[in-house]
Structure 1
Amino acid sequence: MNRQIAKYIQENTTEIISKWKEQMKEDENERSFQMTPPEIMDKTSREFADLMASNLLESHQAYENRLYDFSEKVVRLGWSITFVTKAITHFSEIVFDGMEQEGIITQNNTRDYMKEFSNWITPIRDKTIDAYSKTWERTVSLQKIALQELSASLIPVFDKVSVMPLVGTIDTERARLIMENLLEGVVKHRAEVVLLDITGVPVVDTMVAHHIIQAADAVRLVGAKCMLVGIRPEIAQTIVTLGINLNDFTTSSTLQRGVEQALAWTNRKIVEVDE
């Protein structure tokens, strides 16, 4: 029966995919089709259909390798785990209905085919969820590492003046890393003024503000001044609305103005030189 199911899928792939895509699009809560360009969706749909059929024919190891490769692809495309599980269920239903219409599945063998479909779909759903979860965890972990490396360095821009650009969401773990790198950088570069640039931080809430205040306090404890720069209008409005107290901070809307103030604190300024 496995080979019969695989043969039907291979001989009717185009029709199955067409019906499957229409059924998936009817789900108003699923946006995967809307986010994915049509040509990529068509190619990925065929890969999905081929993967479903290969589970019936290939060896366990060969199928596992293809499954993990496909999982990595759909994670990059932004397919949700809900979408993937619905895709498997709808695909099997379309195949079952099609085989019924062609007379392959009859009243005499319906029970046997239902058991065979269950034996086919249940393992592939479990393996797909497992592969998807592992791929997603690995992707998130790599993104987190990349973000940490990108946004937690203290950069000397002038003698005694350094900048730390913060990018992305700041959670407790990132705040700890920022604090460590900040204090190490202040000592290493002998900085007297540190500019914390939050231009790349999308949201500043109470927790983020708390982490920033802690970082600034730590900088002052090692003998340097701290300035908060890159405060966009919407961030300023959020800070006021939440009642976050930044009275102990010197703040600036842009990094350029912050640098000018930092130079003034160290008895320097930027001047234009006539040619």
Structure 2
Amino acid sequence: METNNPFLSFLQQNRNEVCEEWTERIKELVDTKLLAVISDQMYSNICNEYINLIMNHLENPQEDQTDKVNDFAHKTVQYGWTLKFVSSAIKELSIIIFNRMTEEKSDKEKIELVWEIDRYLSPITNEVIHQYADSWERTVSLQKIALQELSAPLIPVFEHITVMPLVGTIDTERAKGIMENLLQGVVKHRSQVVLIDITGVPVVDTMVAHHIIQAAEAVRLVGAKCLLVGIRPEIAQTIVNLGIDLNQITTKNSLQKGIQTALEMTNRKIVSLEG
């Protein structure tokens, strides 16, 4: 298609060469870990997709490309590309285009072309960066919600008996989520006994113990009983040294013993069946 735009004409005539060179430049910039999991074809595809955005913008400057730009930005987020990397990659494309378009041109012509390239590329570049930021925020927000849901699950193991396994460090924000999940789960599963398993909690200090005591008290107020299980020797020693009072909570050193106690509290027990 004939065009009066020299920038668009250049891309139409040199698209494949530009895309190949840009793909190789990107692979030099990318982290080696990402390079190992993303194929050459995927790099080529995303380079072609971005050049398509530019050409579509030049051919139809009045057309709204927000959806296309958003799709492109979302892909870069899913690939694990950082904003710094995306910005550097786009800058490399500008350099490639400039170098190819300024072969055998005077310094004055080169300066004029710098402004032209910036004028043509900036609208798409700015929109990609904006959409990338939005897509990244949405992705991080969804991941945070998913992690919160997984960080303190309440698992029914027997009728009226549930277990909440805790793994990792417990801070104030996470403790709030644990409390909410615990109370909602107790009501949902009609639990009579809840076992809080701290086997995977590396450190139990005064703050963590305080949150556990609060959780146990809250469980009691909704009509259930709370057992604290998974207390390792070093954790027991820390609790004693800190003078933390857990007398109001039944404690067991393992989940197995905790479940046995929970069954007894609900008038059941484990028996062996002889053949």
TM-score, structure 1 as length reference = 0.74
Structure 1: tracts of 5 or more residues without a match: none
1:122 corresponds to which residue?
Answer: 122
Deviation at 1:60, TM superposition (A): 4.6
Q: Deviations over 1:237-275 (max 9, x none)?
A: 9x97xx99988473556x555423432454532223346
**Which range moves more in the overlay, 180-189 or 35-44?**
180-189
CA contact (8 A) 1:220 1:226 kept: no
Paired residue secondary structure (1:62):
coil
2:226 corresponds to which residue?
Answer: 225
Q: Deviations over 1:201-256 (max 9, x none)?
A: 79778677765564345435656223245x89xxx89x97xx99988473556x55
Distance, in Å, in 2 between the alignment partners of 1:73 and 1:48 is 11
After TM superposition, list the pairs within 5 Å mapping 1:144-163 onto structure 2: 144-150=144-150, 154-163=154-163
Distance, in Å, in 2 between the alignment partners of 1:244 and 1:13 is 69
Distance 1:156-1:108 versus aligned 2 partners, 3 A rule: closer
Distance 1:208-1:80 versus aligned 2 partners, 3 A rule: farther
- Counterpart amino acid of residue 126 in structure 2: D
Distance 1:34-1:7 versus aligned 2 partners, 3 A rule: farther
Distance, in Å, in 1 between the alignment partners of 2:8 and 2:242 is 62
In the alignment of these two chains, the number of paired residues is 265
**Which range moves more in the overlay, 77-86 or 176-185?**
176-185
Distance, in Å, in 2 between the alignment partners of 1:267 and 1:149 is 32
CA contact (8 A) 1:193 1:262 kept: yes
- Counterpart amino acid of residue 125 in structure 2: R
After TM superposition, list the pairs within 5 Å mapping 1:182-221 onto structure 2: 182-186=182-186, 189=189, 191-197=191-197, 211-212=211-212, 214-219=214-219
Structure 2: tracts of 5 or more residues without a match: none
After TM superposition, list the pairs within 5 Å mapping 1:62-77 onto structure 2: 62-77=64-79
Deviation at 1:126, TM superposition (A): 2.1
After TM superposition, list the pairs within 5 Å mapping 1:84-95 onto structure 2: 84-95=86-97
Deviation at 1:162, TM superposition (A): 1.4
1:78 corresponds to which residue?
Answer: 80
Question: Which of 96, 99, 104 in structure 2 is aligned with 1:97?
Answer: 99
Question: Which of 12, 16, 38 in structure 2 is aligned with 1:14?
Answer: 16
The percent of aligned pairs where both chains have the same amino acid is 43
Deviation at 1:161, TM superposition (A): 1.6
2:176 corresponds to which residue?
Answer: 176
2:41 corresponds to which residue?
Answer: 39
Distance 1:193-1:28 versus aligned 2 partners, 3 A rule: same
1:272 corresponds to which residue?
Answer: 272
Distance, in Å, in 2 between the alignment partners of 1:245 and 1:3 is 78
CA contact (8 A) 2:196 2:226 kept: no
TM-score, structure 2 as length reference = 0.74
- Counterpart amino acid of residue 142 in structure 1: L
Distance, in Å, in 2 between the alignment partners of 1:24 and 1:263 is 60
Deviation at 1:146, TM superposition (A): 3.6
- Aligned-residue Cα RMSD (Å) equals 4.0
1:139 corresponds to which residue?
Answer: 139
Q: Deviations over 1:104-136 (max 9, x none)?
A: x54453232111112123333321121011111
1:5 corresponds to which residue?
Answer: 7
CA contact (8 A) 2:23 2:43 kept: no
Deviation at 1:80, TM superposition (A): 0.7
CA contact (8 A) 1:75 1:136 kept: yes
- Counterpart amino acid of residue 181 in structure 1: N
- Counterpart amino acid of residue 262 in structure 1: A
Q: Deviations over 1:157-195 (max 9, x none)?
A: 324421235578866545323312312443565534212
Distance, in Å, in 1 between the alignment partners of 2:40 and 2:177 is 42
Distance 1:28-1:160 versus aligned 2 partners, 3 A rule: closer
